[in-house]
Amino acid sequence: MKRFVSCNLLFLLVVFAVSCATAAKSESYGSVRQNAFDAFAELEGKEAAASKDEKSSMDSVKDRGEAAFDEVGSGEEPLFAAVLKGTGTGEDEKSAKNDALSQLANSIVADIVSKTVISQEERDGKYTESLKNDILIRSNVFLKGVLFTKPVKKEGFVEVTAFMTQNSIVNTITYLLKTMPEDIETLSPEKYDDVLTMIYLSYSLLYAVTDRQIPERSKYITALGTLKAEVEKLASHGSVYFQATSDVKGEVEIAGKSYELNKKIFLKPANYKFSVKLNGYKNVSGSVNLSKGDKKFVEIPLVPELSGKKEIFLSVESPVIMTGDIEKALLDFGIVPTQKEELPHHVTIVVKTASVQVDGYERVIVSVDIDTFKNGEKFKVAHYEHKPFFVTAQNRSEKVKEESRKISSAVVKKFLSSIDLKEFFGESE
């Protein structure tokens, strides 16, 4: 009888301990989530009051006949007040807006990476590219404060700028915290991944504003950091997204199963080998290591099965010597670069670097322009601006060389994956 009572008592103690641990975990997440929401709700109120005063001041300026700003935004706030922005182009307004949103998402991610808060280096290569992809896919959910300029028709395309102001950034963070689920322990990996994205996006947006724009910004960063730490403790899976840069059909084989391209896959922590089979393109294989909470992004290069030897005239203009890197990128696609100007196919690549000083560091941006010609006529042109990186006086020379070569090679491969090479070389049916 005593043994029975002891066993029951032990069982009750174990149940009580597990219950207490679960309750403590839930209470910890719930309390830090509420604290973060309360902080940003208070900040949102301050921002609204400041915005009202600022608008009144601007109206006064306009009443006096002074040109304060150009009202180009589709919302109440003008483009001059933009903290984050991205300009996109397209054949029509819809495609231009989608491209502008893509550039905006890139600027959000680039800003957080440049400050190395939750960057790829800190988190073992995870998150940034996947976050950008998540923002684009779920932009209607995650970006509530995006404004667009009126579309401008130019020769052959439409241009639109997507932007977020200081007020819309704060409003978006508050919205994300408000819609975050109260209990995340029972969520599926897919839903849990959305919560992680909300946290990372909030972080990125907050770092887009300055201490001058939001006094005591460090207090809000701390609140988000505490919440992020609690959320990451509850991770059970990682995710990986395999993307082809075109609407090509294909499938990914990983962990003994087949998945469609351009789909996020959730897997338990492990090292996985994968194989990608593409219709009309060379197969791609590799490996990816996933940890709890990882958000990996794998961009699949599209290398067409070209028949025979394809030669092309190559011209490279760059402050950094990189012709060899560009030639290798072309050879990977079965294209032989030469200096025969009489060839019908030409490609011209111009690489530029620009920089500004930021808090003792130099912020560098590498841009790449690619023009392709077929029989003397332009086939396709493209302009890329890569996410910025920081250098110091000590490492500037080597860092700029290394990043410029790496970026340019990756951009060339991305460009070649985006065009129909068979059509370019006259192999289309």
- Please tell me the predicted confidence (pLDDT) of residue 75: 43
pLDDT tens, residue by residue, 113-135: 555 443 333 444 345 566 667 77
pTM above 0.75, yes or no: no
- Please tell me the predicted confidence (pLDDT) of residue 119: 37
Domain boundaries, the chain: 71-231, 238-300, 310-424
Same fold? 238-300, 310-424: no
Q: Which CATH superfamily is domain 71-231 in?
A: Acetamidase/Formamidase-like domains (3.10.28.20)
Percent of the chain with pLDDT over 70: 77
pLDDT tens, residue by residue, 277-324: 887 788 888 898 888 888 888 888 778 777 788 899 999 999 999 999
Better-scored residue on pLDDT, 415 or 294: 415
Q: What is the mean pLDDT of the chain?
A: 77
Q: Does domain 238-300 fall into CATH 3.40.50.970? A: no
Mean pLDDT value across residues 211-222: 82
Say yes or no to pLDDT of 60 above 60.
no
Better-scored residue on pLDDT, 63 or 231: 231
Q: At 72, is the pLDDT very low, low, confident or very high (cuts 50, 70, 90)?
A: very low
| CA quadruple 167, 170, 176, 182: dihedral, nearest 10 | -130
- Please tell me the predicted confidence (pLDDT) of residue 316: 96
Say yes or no to pLDDT of 68 above 50.
no
> Hey, which CATH number is domain 310-424, 3.30.160.150, 1.10.10.10, 2.60.40.420, 3.40.50.1970?
3.30.160.150
